[in-house]
Chains A and B, each alone.
Chain A
Amino acid sequence: MSNKVTFSDLVGRIAEETGASKRVIHDLLKETAVVAKEGLVRDGRLSIAGVGIFKLKWRDARQGINPQTGEPIEIPAQNQVHFRPEAALRTFINRKYQHIKPEIIRNDIKPAPSLLKSTYLFLWRKRSALGWAAALLALLLLMLVGMFSFFQPSYQRALPVGETRQPEAIPRYRIPVEELTEEKKQIQTVAQPDLSPPSAGKPGGVHNVRQGDSFWTIAKVFYADPYLWPNIFRVNVEVVDNPDALEVSTTIHVPPLEGTVGGLSQKDIMNIIDGYMQVYLAYRRLNKTNAPYYLWVAKQYNVQEVLDRYEDRIYASDRDFILRIKGSARIK
């Protein structure tokens, strides 16, 4: 209770609401107090409709301590008033929290003791020679297993974002053997990615997202230039909402490039600009602050044909913002 209404204010409010005089309401409340006291003393129980039930609860005498001096004091037996507000009153003052429901906490189960600890406890309880022999045997077995697994190749771990695994080690990227006539073609065979610069262009392909992948890493492997990642995002707009958060096991289509890095064709550049615009729109939708930089990169190319397509979707504030960015961006 932070603030209080004074009694006269309360009387005023009720008088206004009922149309009765303040005098009457004042008397009514005072008399209610008298009658309530009477009822409590007589029955030990009082109910007032719209407020709740007041009940007396008998407290036996008990020993207490004076908090000021620390002296023990005798608290005499007495009646305490217990008030239970009516259900309607309780729900009314809790309207604000009505939508919050109790939640079951599922992960609060006590964790089982570790295998080592339980084994130890078990052996300790059965301190027989057999038990110790069994313990020794188990230890020996554990050591053997440990040594065995030590010489085995280590498990494949997911790499952090920004790194790629050597494709020679594991065939990860599946590229169709046949020439891709359209961008979204089904996977046919598993093949090693062609990392050596091919004579003409970069083949596209299909990539299944794994832990640690990002458009950046995929572009690095397929195009050997991570900066071209918006070109991949461009054809996957429908599957990927947030370009920064790829979901594992999503199938990403990688469009082929006509030229190679350093000698991109006009069509490639147009596609890449289109990709940068798509990234801009996606980041804008996600309210990311780096969105205008992608717009700026796209603008640097001055390919009006692509920019005109997005003209009505560019924010005016971003238009002003990119004018203030210095430097140049050129995809070779």
Chain B
Amino acid sequence: MNNSEVIRRLSERLRLSQREIRRLLKRSTEIFKKTLAEDLGFTIPEFGTFGTHVRQKRKAYNPHHKTFMMLPVKRAVSFHPSSALKGHLKAQRVDNE
């Protein structure tokens, strides 16, 4: 499901215009981004928890240059699906490629 389909479905369910939903969703994601940048996590009920963690610097092999490299420290976003979401997913394999 892509973003426009999400917006269409939400507008059907919330009885708001697609334009309005698009605006609200865009602003919401901006807030998500800012929250994560402040090193804070948040949970969307029935969906999952977003958070960040530090990925320490590490040594990695660069197969192209055939050398080892020191990859710098960085922050990564993590997502943990809620048990409610996981419960719905268990059913069977979905072809998503």
Contacts and interface: CB of A to CB of B under 8 A. Distances in A.
A81 B79 contact: yes
Interface stretch (A39-47, A135-143, A189-197, A282-290): A39-47
Interface stretch (A21-29, A116-124, A198-206, A239-247): A21-29
Contacts of B67: 104-106, 108
Size category, B interface: 35 or more
Given A18-B27, A50-B26, A37 B47 contact: yes
Interface in A209-235: none
A79 B93 contact: yes
B18 interface: no
B19 interface: no
A234 B69 CA distance: 46
Contacts of A100: 72-73
A17 B31 contact: yes
A100 B56 CA distance: 13
Contacts of B70: 102-103, 105
Interface of B: 1-3, 5-6, 9-10, 13-14, 16, 21, 23-33, 35-37, 39-49, 51-53, 59, 62, 65, 67-79, 81, 85-86, 88-91, 93-96
**10 cross-chain pairs, A with B, having the tightest CB-CB distances, nearest first:** A1-B51, A39-B1, A50-B29, A44-B94, A44-B96, A83-B79, A33-B47, A100-B72, A1-B41, A85-B77
Given A7-B42, A44-B95, A102-B72, 20 more contacts: A1-B40, A4-B51, A5-B42, A14-B24, A14-B31, A17-B30, A35-B9, A41-B94, A42-B94, A44-B96, A47-B3, A48-B3, A50-B26, A51-B29, A56-B96, A102-B69, A104-B62, A104-B68, A104-B69, A108-B68
